[in-house]
Structure 1
């Protein structure tokens, strides 16, 4: 704060200080005016976005244990772990990519296993029916 003269001089010892000038300088400071070569300070706040990226670990583990047709469940489990690792590091794009691959591998493993199970049941029941027909003749 620069003053044109001292606020208290010997002539106005008994008088109150000049509050008007201080108030005007305060208004300029509040409005954002700078009084010198000091740069304006800025604050940067990094907000970490918590986008929910499902990593499908449970589904992949289930497919690995029960529906591991052509090792698709195990490969899906590996991609799920990679997705979880990318999410922990903060790489949302990489986590979404690995999670998408894991999801598609899980879908394929589940569908192929269900189709193979249905085909096996049909073939097995047809074989049993044929065996009973031959035994009854």
Structure 2
């Protein structure tokens, strides 16, 4: 057993040795399989969602939620650079929630706009075709 907690098993591969025929004695190839057990040693750094916040700020900024998400994303990135992982995770999750809310509100508004334009165009076309 290795000091890091890895389990190593040697498994013989079937095949040809160097220059030999299959099944003949020669150089035997081995492979090692590392199996880790327990919690991972390295954790993933917290996400700051800055690209999503920029897109929400530029393209859909309902009720200034995109701006607030951008501010929290910048704070999360600053906390991550300083080394405050818990603060970065908190600001990043707040930015994510604001981005989700801004995206949903913008999508609903876009669909309402498309439906309204479609209804107005259909009524205008039916009124235009009406003969007196």
Shorter-chain TM-score above 0.5: yes
Unaligned runs of 5+ in 2: 1-41
Q: What residue is the counterpart of 2:60 in the other structure?
A: 67
Higher strand fraction: Structure 1 or Structure 2? 2
Match of 1:57 among 45, 50, 54: 50
CA RMSD of aligned residues (A): 1.1
**TM-score normalized by the length of structure 1:** 0.63
Paired residue total:
89
Q: Aligned residue for 1:99? A: 92
Aligned equivalent of 1:76: 69
Return 5+ residue gaps in structure 1 as ranges. Answer: 1-48
Counterpart position of 2:129: 136
Structure number having the greater helix percentage: 1
Looking at CA atoms only, which structure, 1 or 2, has the larger radius of gyration?
Answer: 1
**CA–CA distance in 2 between the matches of 1:98 and 1:67?**
21
Q: Deviations over 1:86-122 (max 9, x none)?
A: 0111111000000000000000000110010001100
* Alpha-carbon distance, 1:69 to partner: 1.0
Q: CA deviation at 1:51?
A: 3.7
**Aligned residue for 1:108?**
101
Deviation beyond 6 Å, 4+ runs, structure 1: none
Output the CA distance in 2 between the equivalents of 1:57 and 1:77: 7
Shift in Å at residue 52 of structure 1?
1.3
